[in-house]
């Protein structure tokens, strides 16, 4: 990987000169519940002998990235408008020891990057490949969100130096998606364990340290690579070194801390220069919630480099709606009235701030009625797309949460089955009719 990337960088540099010129308790779910993911248990009971398998990233079937360092100076609204539907590479690079986040994942070898990558989804048989992104693209998605947990593969405070082998591995997967012509969102996902609200200054330093390194590594990628500063930033009510309780609602003091961290994220990216001065940045509300308190107390950071007056900010919200049906698989879906208010409330706040929205996570569990899941998928995308024609005139994009478990749509190894394809097609139909 490193040799090929260095060779590629050298080629680009020469070209530029000639032309004068990127099992324990399962993970907490993204809206407050605990995800029941059998894949987590499977991964944690995987025979340790899998750790001896070669970890070198095979790039022989990968072309050079289809970018030349040119960054289009467009607004975030223009960028989000070009996203059809998005997909999450969930429960993959974002693994951590969920029962005790201060401990290592004892069931895997930390020198095996593929083992770390697939620690929650059943082992290296589920490793990410270029073929997976082709399957995603062929299904109709043109964007992928790549959640990554960094702190487990970094040194401690205050530097949080990210391991080079982990950075290289993450970059190789980003390049697979880039090579496939996809928009890509790269984030810090479960790093809430070092971005702690009970230590605001330490949390801000962690945000700054991690994002400076990530931004520097991916500085030369074009506008199709989006940085998402924080996944679901939230406080823990007790037991930071054990399985504590998440505070999903927050309060004014916590909202203020988060606003400061979002500013630190923007500053950390912009200071690295290059294309990052025009990089589109996703900014989360508290816990990525879309309720009134979290929306109304979210404040846009100041952008030290906003080119041509074009906003480079995107509001990041996660919405499983209606929650009990979509997330827990209970109750019933009664039509678009069940979801319209949740989407329109986010659109109203985003419209007042003049920014687009990416619903970085949404979806429905497989336990629910299939026909209702199809109808819900169409309704969700239709209502989100309609917002660009309302008084708020907000552009929205939606990224399905695929955890390779009960929210899965795209198989990591096989063709998409017919029922999942129906849901994807319904999403596209809703997106095109809104």
Q: Is 55 helix (H, G, I), strand (E, B) or coil?
A: coil
Quickly list DSSP for 237-271. Answer: SS-TTTT--EESS--HHHHHHHHHHHHHHHHHHHT
Closest CA to 229 of 152, 165, 316, 169: 316
Q: Is 361 helix (H, G, I), strand (E, B) or coil?
A: strand
Catalytic residue, candidates 152, 232, 348, 422 = 232
Residue with tokens 């004892």: 106
**In this structure, are strands 357-362 and 396-400 parallel, antiparallel, or unpaired?**
parallel
Look up residue 156 and give its two tokens. 């401690």
Catalytic residue, candidates 152, 228, 361, 386 = 361
Look up residue 374 and give its two tokens. 């199809």
Q: Where are the alpha helices (DSSP H) in 292-369?
A: 292-296, 323-326, 337-353
Alpha-carbon gap, residue 15 to 13, rounded angstroms = 5
**Active-site residue flag, 232:** yes
Q: Is 54 helix (H, G, I), strand (E, B) or coil?
A: coil
Q: Is 28 helix (H, G, I), strand (E, B) or coil?
A: strand
Sign of CA dihedral 34, 35, 36, 40: negative
Contact yes or no for 334/375 (Cβ under 8 A)? no
Closest CA to 289 of 29, 35, 25: 29
**Active-site residue flag, 223:** no
Catalytic residue ranges: 232, 361
């Amino acid at each position: 990987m490193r040799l090929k990337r260095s060779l590629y960088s050298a080629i680009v540099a020469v070209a530029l000169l000639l032309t004068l010129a990127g099992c324990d308790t399962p993970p907490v779910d993204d809206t407050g519940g605990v995800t029941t993911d059998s894949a987590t248990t499977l991964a944690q009971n995987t025979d340790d002998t899998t750790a001896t398998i070669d970890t070198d990233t095979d790039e022989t079937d990968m072309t050079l990235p289809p970018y030349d360092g040119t960054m289009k100076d467009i607004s975030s609204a223009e960028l989000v408008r070009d996203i059809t539907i998005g997909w999450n590479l969930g429960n993959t690079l974002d693994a951590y020891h969920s029962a005790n986040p201060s401990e290592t994942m004892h069931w895997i070898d930390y020198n095996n990057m593929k083992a770390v990558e697939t620690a929650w989804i059943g082992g290296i048989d589920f490793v990410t490949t270029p073929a997976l992104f082709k399957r995603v693209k062929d299904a109709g998605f043109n964007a992928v969100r790549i959640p990554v947990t960094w702190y487990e593969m970094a040194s401690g405070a205050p530097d949080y130096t990210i391991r080079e082998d982990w950075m290289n591995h993450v970059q190789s997967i980003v390049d697979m998606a880039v090579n496939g012509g996809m928009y890509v969102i790269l984030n810090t996902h479960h790093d809430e364990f070092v971005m702690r609200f009970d230590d605001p200054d330490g949390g801000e330093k962690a945000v700054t340290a991690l994002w400076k390194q990530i931004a520097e590594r991916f500085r030369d990628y074009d506008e199709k690579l989006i940085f998402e500063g924080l996944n679901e930033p939230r406080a823990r009510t007790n037991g930071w070194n054990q399985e504590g309780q998440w505070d999903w609602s927050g309060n004014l003091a916590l909202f203020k801390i988060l606003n400061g961290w979002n500013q630190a994220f923007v500053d950390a990216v912009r200071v690295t220069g290059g294309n990052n001065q025009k990089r589109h940045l996703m900014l989360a509300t508290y816990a990525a919630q879309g309720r009134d308190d979290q929306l109304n107390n979210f404040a846009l950071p100041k952008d030290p480099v906003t080119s041509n007056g074009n906003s480079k900010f995107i509001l990041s919200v996660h919405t499983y709606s209606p929650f009990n049906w979509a997330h827990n698989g209970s109750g019933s879906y009664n039509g678009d009235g069940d979801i319209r208010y949740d989407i329109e409330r986010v659109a109203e706040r985003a419209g007042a701030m003049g920014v687009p929205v990416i619903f970085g996570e949404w979806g429905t569990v497989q336990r629910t009625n299939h026909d209702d899941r199809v109808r819900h998928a169409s309704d969700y995308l239709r209502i989100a797309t309609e917002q660009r024609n309302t008084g708020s005139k907000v552009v929205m994009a939606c990224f399905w949460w695929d955890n390779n478990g009960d929210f899965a749509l795209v198989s990591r190894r096989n063709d998409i089955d017919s029922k999942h394809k129906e849901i994807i097609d319904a999403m596209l139909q809703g997106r095109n009719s809104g």
